[in-house]
Amino acid sequence: MKDIRLMKGNEAIAEGVIRAGCDGYFGYPITPQSEVLEYLMANNPEERTGMVVLQAESEIASIHMVYGGAAAGKRVMTSSSSPGISLMQEGISFMAGTELPCLLLNVVRGGPGLGTIQPSQSDYFQAVKGGGHGDYKMIVLAPASVQEMYDFAKLGFELAFKHRIQVMVLSDGAIGQMMEKVELDDQLPRLTDAEIVKKYPWATTGKTPDRPRNIITSLDLNPVKQEIINQNLQKKFRHIEQTEVRFERFMCDDAEYLFVAYGSSARVCQKAVLLGRAKGLKVGLLRPITLFPFPVDELARLAKQVKGMQAIEMSAGQMVEDVRLSVNGVVPVEHYGRLGGIIPAPDEVLHVLEQNFIHSKKEKQYEPATY
């Protein structure tokens, strides 16, 4: 019988990592993601799989504990929300420089600064364009449901080890806090230390006579060598762009107008598509699931089909830049966003799309609902 539960997004990913055979979680509380650490502490991963869970003294310490574990070949992760993720950028950059696999969860809240604890998507640039210092990318997965919060735990670790890269699950307060049905998988076993030695020959597991010592470092003071290191990193990112793009098409086949949105905004747009279809409008939704790599080709293809694209984000316009780069001027691309923790409503975003592409511009502009 299927194990189906009603869970918060934050709880679902916590259960997901236990079942994906995660070895260690290191984190620090922050709203709206504290349920991850709370759930892990309450649900005995140590007894169930031997997974280690530790509340660190800060987000900085958390990410460097992740670094230490990852450099020794373990499946490790941390989670936080926007201000905490900013603190972690040093460690993430070091992991990029050393090509260490890990899973990171950002349950995004509004910024800048302390901002708000309400949901937001204003960390897109930070997640997708690099975030810390240096030329690097992470794979960024954007869950739009509690089920995906769960699923992306396992997928995240798979991708992280497949490419030796950091995988960030870019969620938001809405997905983290809401409850939906989740179907759980069976427990995957954790790798044994012997299996790690065999599978990950680069890991610092203790130098044995049969191999030279393993060193995990991002330092090389020789510019010629450092350039080669960087070129190899870029090669890997290009390969990921070719092979790991994920997206969902919702009523796109005959669409004349397209919403482009990810995460909870995509859920809002999904409803807006239904509202639009009920009015006889041929509206569709393209939902990027991977934000890096971005579904560039799919959007370029859709650009030849639709009359306009409406990006919807809880930001001042971040993902829309990638949409515009993808369609390269072939169709108009408009941005609409709500800021500061406000989630746009389905009829609100439909109205915006209609105003921008269907009705005459002379008509009265939609006044966003106040909350």
Partner 1 sequence: MTEEIIIAGFGGQGVLSMGKILAYSGMMQNKEVSWFPSYGPEMRGGTANVTVIISDERISSPILNKFDTAIILNQQSMDKFENSVKEGGLLIYDPNGIVRHPVRTDINIYTIEASDEASKLGLAKIFNMFVLGGYLSIKPLIDAEYIHKGLEKSLPLRRHNLIPENEKAIARGKEIVHAVHVLN
Partner 2 sequence: MSQLLTREEICVPENEVYHRTCLLTDAALSYCPGCGHGTAHRLIMEVIEEMNLQADTIGVAPVGCSVLAYDFMDIDMQQAAHGRAPAVATGIKRLYPDKFVFTYQGDGDLAAIGTGETLHACNRGENITIFFVNNGIYGMTGGQMAPTTLPGMKTATSPFGRDVTTMGYPLKITELLAMLPGTYYVTRQSVHTPANVRKAKKAIEKAVQYQKLKKGLCFVEIVSNCNSGWKMTPLESNKWMEENMFPVYPLGDIKVPKP
Q: CA 39 to CA 76: how far, in whole Å? A: 16
CB closer to partner 1, 308 vs 346 = 346
Q: How many Cβ atoms from other residues are within 10 Å of residue 271's Cβ?
A: 15
Which residues, 228 to 267, sit near partner 1 by CB under 8 A?
264, 267
Cβ 170 to partner 2 shortest distance, Å: 23
Is 178 a residue that touches partner 1 (CB under 8 A)? Answer: yes
Strand arrangement of the beta sheet that strand 139-141 belongs to: 52-55, 24-27, 76-80, 102-108, 166-172, 139-141, 290-292
Is 17 a residue that touches partner 2 (CB under 8 A)? Answer: no
Which residues, 94 to 113, sit near partner 2 by CB under 8 A?
94, 98
Q: Which residues contact 141 (CB under 8 A, 6 or more apart)?
A: 152, 155, 156, 159, 167, 168, 169, 170, 246, 289, 290, 291
Cβ 58 to partner 2 shortest distance, Å: 6
Applying CB under 8 A, among 3, 4, 48, 195 the residue interacting with partner 1 is 4
Applying CB under 8 A, among 18, 61, 174, 268 the residue interacting with partner 2 is 61
Q: CA 126 to CA 115: how far, in whole Å? A: 16
Is 91 a residue that touches partner 2 (CB under 8 A)? Answer: yes
CB closer to partner 2, 27 vs 341 = 27
- Which partner in partner 1, partner 2, none is near 42 (CB below 5 to 8 A by kind)? none
Q: How many residues bind partner 1 (CB under 8 A)?
A: 27
- Which partner in partner 2, partner 1, none is near 19 (CB below 5 to 8 A by kind)? none
Structure-block tokens of residue 293: 């790599």
For residues 34 and 61, the answer to whether their CB atoms sit within 8 Å is: no
Determine the residue type at 296: V
Across the strands, what pairs with 26?
54
Which residues, 17 to 46, sit near partner 1 by CB under 8 A?
31-32
For residues 16 and 31, the answer to whether their CB atoms sit within 8 Å is: no
Is 18 a residue that touches partner 2 (CB under 8 A)? Answer: no
Structure-block tokens of residue 103: 């899973």
Q: How many Cβ atoms from other residues are within 10 Å of residue 319's Cβ?
A: 26
Cβ 312 to partner 2 shortest distance, Å: 37
| Residue linked to tokens 């509004």 | 110
Q: CA 308 to CA 285: how far, in whole Å? A: 12
- Which partner in partner 1, partner 2, none is near 177 (CB below 5 to 8 A by kind)? partner 1
CB closer to partner 2, 87 vs 302 = 87
Q: CA 194 to CA 294: how far, in whole Å? A: 37
Q: How many Cβ atoms from other residues are within 10 Å of residue 230's Cβ?
A: 15
Cβ 182 to partner 1 shortest distance, Å: 10
Applying CB under 8 A, among 71, 174, 309, 333 the residue interacting with partner 1 is 174
Residues that bind partner 1 (CB under 8 A): 4, 6, 31-32, 117-118, 173-174, 177-181, 264, 267-268, 270-274, 343, 345-348, 369
Residues that bind partner 2 (CB under 8 A): 23-24, 26, 52, 54, 56-58, 60-62, 64-72, 74, 76, 90-91, 94, 98, 193, 204-209, 213-219
